[in-house]
């Protein structure tokens, strides 16, 4: 395992070394010590590396990730795994706003709570939150799955497209065009697999499913006052 000390090397050198480790590299396992809450750590990785970050991180950790498996042993700031394409990002603590924003693929696991706008404009990513999420989560969510094992704040799924939302606890309120939907055997099977991948032990049957009512897909002049 290759160990890097953030306090000694700094952000530019650490990210440079991580991005230089291509798929053919023999060194797959990396540890970053003393991250000190700094921003943009382990961004843009394009190789199947295992990166362990021992401490809290700032904004956009793991952003634009492809293939790498990144674990933050602590809390994460705004936009963790923003625009992730593939791979896995895991936060053992809590995450701030906009976790997984615009992410196209991969798996984001937040073992604690996530703040507001979790999964905003998600485009295919799977997000599993072990705790609760704040207001406006899954705003304009287009594709993928957001799984909340705790509660959800107000305006969940506002202006949602085709993403699937699963909440085990209570929902303060649903956003525009977001409604509760039937949890079928197909959904239970898919959710069970997603929870297994995330390492979270809850029965899929305990969740409720939410999604788009599809009333905002086309503008209706007779109901203009509703927009």
Each residue's pLDDT tens digit, 82-139: 999 999 999 999 999 999 999 999 999 999 999 999 999 999 999 999 999 999 999 9
Answer whether residue 223 is part of any domain. no
Q: Taking residues 144-166, what's their average pLDDT?
A: 97
pLDDT confidence tier of residue 165, bands split at 50, 70 and 90: very high
The percentage of the chain sitting over the pLDDT mark of 70, rounded to a whole number, equals 95
Compute the distance between CA of residue 92 and CA of residue 3 in angstroms, rounded to an integer: 20
Confirm if 172 and 135 have CB atoms less than 8 A apart. Answer: yes
Residue 226 lies in a domain: no
Predicted pLDDT of residue 215: 87
Task: Of 23-27, 54-58, 172-176, give the lowest mean pLDDT range.
Answer: 23-27
Q: Does the residue 221 lie in any domain? A: no
Query: How many Å apart are CA 14 and CA 26, to the nearest integer?
Result: 18
| pLDDT surpassing 90 at residue 79 | yes
Confirm whether 89 is domain-assigned. Answer: yes
Q: Is the pTM of this model over 0.75?
A: yes
Tens-digit pLDDT profile for residues 29-50: 999 999 999 999 999 999 999 9
pLDDT in tens, 65-78: 999 999 999 999 99
Total Cβ atoms within 10 A of residue 26: 5
User: Can you tell me the distance from the alpha carbon of 107 to that of 89, in angstroms, rounded to the nearest whole number?
Assistant: 6
- Domain for residue 220, yes or no? no
pLDDT at 23: 62
Stretch 51-66: mean pLDDT, rounded? 98
Closest CA to 157 of 195, 149, 173, 84: 173
Residue 25: is its pLDDT beyond 80? no
Band (pLDDT 50/70/90 cuts) for residue 63 is: very high
Residue 222 lies in a domain: no
3-state percent breakdown (helix, strand, coil) of the chain, nearest 5: 15, 25, 55
Cβ-contact 29, 1 below 8 angstroms = yes
The continuous run of DSSP H or E covering 196 comes out as helix 185-198
Please tell me the predicted confidence (pLDDT) of residue 224. Answer: 65
Q: How many domains does the chain have?
A: 1
Question: Is 218 part of a structural domain of the chain?
Answer: no
At 175-225, the pLDDT tens digits run 999 999 999 999 999 999 999 999 999 999 999 999 999 988 776 667 666
Give the domain CATH number at 120: 2.160.20.60
| Domain membership flag for residue 181 | yes
Q: Using CA atoms, how far apart are residues 144 and 150, in angstroms rounded to an integer?
A: 19
Q: And the tokens for 8?
A: 């000694």
8 Å CB contact between 18 and 45: yes
pLDDT of residue 227: 56
Residue 103 belongs to what domain range?
2-212
């Amino acid at each position: 395992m290759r160990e890097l000390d953030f306090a000694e090397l700094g952000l530019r050198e650490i990210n440079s070394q991580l991005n230089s480790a291509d798929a053919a590299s023999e060194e797959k396992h990396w540890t970053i010590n003393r991250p000190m809450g700094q921003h943009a750590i382990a961004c843009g990785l394009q190789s199947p590396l295992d990166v362990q970050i021992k401490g809290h991180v700032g904004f956009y950790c793991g952003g634009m990730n492809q293939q790498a498996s990144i674990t933050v042993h602590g809390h994460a700031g705004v936009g963790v795994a923003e625009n992730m394409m593939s791979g896995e990002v895991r936060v053992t603590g809590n995450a701030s706003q906009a976790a997984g924003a615009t992410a196209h693929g991969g798996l984001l696991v937040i073992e604690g709570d996530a703040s507001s706008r979790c999964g905003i404009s998600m485009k295919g990513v799977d997000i599993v939150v072990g705790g609760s999420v704040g207001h406006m989560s899954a705003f304009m969510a287009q594709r993928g799955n957001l799984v909340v094992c705790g509660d959800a704040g107000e305006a969940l799924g506002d202006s949602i497209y085709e993403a699937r939302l699963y909440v085990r606890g209570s929902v303060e309120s649903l956003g525009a065009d977001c409604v509760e939907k039937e949890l079928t055997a197909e959904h239970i099977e898919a959710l069970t697999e997603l929870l297994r991948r995330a390492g979270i032990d809850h029965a899929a049957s305990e969740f409720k499913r939410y999604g788009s009512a599809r009333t905002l897909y086309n503008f209706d002049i007779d109901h203009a006052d509703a927009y």
